[in-house]
Amino acid sequence: MKATREAYGEALVELGREHPEIVVLDADLSSSTMTSGFAKEFPERFFNFGIAEANMMGAAAGLARSGKVPFASTFAVFASGRAYDQVRQSIAYPGFNVKIAASHGGLTVGPDGASHQALEDIALMRVIPGMTVVVPADAEETRQVVRWAAAHDGPVYIRLGRSPVPDVFPQGAPIQPGKASVVKDAKGRGFGEMRPGGERDGLDADVAILANGIMVSKCLEAWELLAAEGITSVVVDVAFVKPLDEKTLLELAGRCGAFVTAEEHSVIGGLGGAVTEFLSENCPCPVVRVGVRDRFGQSGTPEELLAEYGLTAEDIAQAARKSLELKRAE
Amino acid sequence: MGQKGKCEVTTQTQCSKKVEEIRRVCREVRKNVLVMIGTAGSGHPGGSLSCVEIISTLYFGVMRVKPEDPNWPDRDRFVLSKGHAAPTLYAVLAEKGFFPKDLLPTLRKFGSPLQGHPDAKRTPGVEVSTGSLGQGLSMAVGMALAGKLDRKGYRVWVLLGDGECQEGQVWEAAMAASHYKLDNLAAFVDFNGLQIDGRVEEIMNPSPLADKWRAFGWRVLEVDGHDVDALLEAASYASESPGAPTAIIARTVKGKGVSFMEGQREWHGKAPKGEELSRALQEVTKS
Ligand SMILES: Cc1ncc(C[n+]2csc(CCOP(=O)(O)OP(=O)(O)O)c2C)c(N)n1
């Protein structure tokens, strides 16, 4: 168990040692976004802009234009909301190489409540041309995604969580950033047990469950619930909401013909939106979305909120049953 | 500061009674703030304790409000722009009778009307939803403009953090307020010198703060933000200064009243537990 924001902080320090061009920016939240480790080790390459997120994003654009590789961090609500226009105009439009690492995404921020719970950030970022949008599932995937982002040329939005999440990937797992990862196939094999390009027959299932962030581990629980009633499923981590791994989606459409998407985000415009948009144009089949149904968040513990907003393993299983029913009715 | 003292219109005894009452409220509010945050297990004690006198003085010595009719059209308005000080606002509103005090310990709990940051839809007496810093002054400008349009006599009071003044939107609002000559608007700055990552002047120095507000066309007062007399006097000056909004830079101590929290940045967003809570409560009830 580790929060993805923690893994981000550690990855930054590692990368900082290897790449002198990496600079880190924060907006008075370095102890929460976990950029404080980098700040300590590389004070001359760390810039705290104070409570001024829009200015921070503009400065990140300028640093990128001058050959630096800036990682700019604040909470996801502020990175995607307060600074939306700066991210769009100053960073994405000229295609600058800025990495936006936004922590405290989703409901699991907990007691701070709606003002601090980003449930629209993926939609906002996904709609910007050229923006890569990633929601890693656990600490290991975060480490690898951050590393990938540092090497990738172009703007990237990485959404991180506040609360610790169970490990989905073993350390050093051969994750291929950009590709969807099957984390449990219909035969119950985990990520480590399937060689890339190896046995694909485990993808033949009643339903494919696509998820990212904290919802991946919830989907693994749902897999068990469904298996107990004789429904086979595959759980696929789609960390890259954009660009989507279309090839894997098409394969799953062929093999399963029914989908569930699960995300700690509005059902509008996030992973569920991206998947339905793609499938309806290329291989129409039922997709049932698990996510927040057009509401703001509120105060509560992470578990209370996940239950209230319909983001539990049982909600995912229920969505899978519905998706299967729709497939059978076709 | 101006000659006009708060005691001009009242007698000295009425005046000191009022000050006594506000001080009593402050003691009660400090205690409740600590209990609330302690019970919630999360929250922001530092910046809640630094503004106890400011908010208490406004509600118990300055503003005209009707707790039984929170949306009374002629009420004075208060905007807590630094929304993370919600516990102080809630404790003052409860003390004033906007809702029962027994709601206070539900702060931050699932289903509670007392959300982690102010939620205008859920809590009687809360004018606007805040928590994302830098937005309150703009909303207050809108309320003050409406007051002018409707020829109403109400006043709009705002509380900003000093770190919050780093947000560009604060200065866009400041420009608009003086442009529209919003003399029905006044902003307190809780000048406690700290933000999350450290001292405000080290993170992103907004000084000279008073000169900045002046340069944006505001009248500026600097007061001791824990001195009820001084706060009353400043508020009365702000209420009688035609033609321009007033900024009141209130020098405060973050964590005020609890020795081990005072001036300590760790207590920005950490709840006191067990022994810490009882020690803190002891200190604020004694004082
Ligand atoms: C737009 C925005 N950015 C960041 C935060 C996170 N945050 C909450 S409190 C705080 C520090 C506030 O400092 P200051 O305004 O000085 O308040 P005080 O010290 O009085 O608590 C920050 C950065 C926020 N709530 N809103």
- C-alpha torsion sign, points A179, A180, A186, A192: positive
At A195, the pLDDT band (50, 70, 90 cuts) reads low
pLDDT tens per residue, range A224-246 = 999 999 999 999 999 999 999 99
Q: From B50, B196, B204, give the residue whose CB has the most ligand 1 atoms within 8 Å, as the site to mutate.
A: B196
Q: Which of B59, B61, B48 is nearest to B5 (CA)?
A: B61
Comparing CA positions, the residue from B85, B135, B128 lying closest to residue A81 is: B135
Please check the confidence at residue B177 and state whether its pLDDT lies above 80. Answer: yes
What pTM was estimated for this model as a whole? 0.95
pLDDT in tens, A18-35: 999 999 999 999 999 999
Q: Quote the longest CA-to-CA distance of chain A.
A: 62
**Residue B2: predicted pLDDT:** 41
Q: What is the ipTM of this complex?
A: 0.92
Query: Tell me, what's the pLDDT at A197?
Result: 59
Contact status, residue B159 vs residue B188, Cβ threshold 8 Å: yes
Q: Give B107-157 pLDDT, tens digit per residue.
A: 999 999 999 999 999 999 999 999 999 999 999 999 999 999 999 999 999
- Look up residue B6 and give its two tokens: 């708060």
Cβ of A111 within 8 Å of Cβ of B204? The answer is no
Ligand 1 centroid from CA A165, angstroms: 26
Closest chain A C-alpha to B113 CA, distance in angstroms: 9
> With bands split at pLDDT 50, 70 and 90, how would you rate the model's confidence at A201?
confident
Q: Which of A10, A14, A53, A193 is catalytic?
A: A53
- The band of A164, judged by pLDDT with boundaries at 50, 70 and 90, is very high
Do A234 and A186 contact (CB within 8 A), yes or no? yes
List of chain A residues whose C-beta atoms are within 8 Å of the C-beta of residue B168: 52, 54-55
What's the pLDDT tens digit per position in A262-283?
Answer: 999 999 999 999 999 999 999 9
Distance CA A259, CA A323 (A): 6
From the CA of B47, how far away is ligand 1's center (Å)?
Answer: 9
pLDDT digits (tens, 9 = 90+) for A106-129: 999 999 999 999 999 999 999 999
pLDDT for A157 equals 99
Asked whether the beta carbons of B162 and B192 are under 8 A apart, the reply is yes
The beta-carbon neighbor of A50 closest among B117, B130, B163 is: B163
Inspect the interface and report whether the beta carbons of A116 and B112 lie closer than 8 Å. no
- Residue A252, classed as helix, strand or coil, is helix
Q: For A40-78, give the DSSP string.
A: HH-GGGEEE--S-HHHHHHHHHHHHHTT-EEEEEEEHHI
Q: Is B131 in contact with A113 (Cβ distance < 8 A)?
A: yes
Determine which residue's CA is closest to atom 6 belonging to ligand 1: A29
Beta bridge partners of B191: B251
Alpha-carbon Rg of chain B, whole angstroms?
A: 18
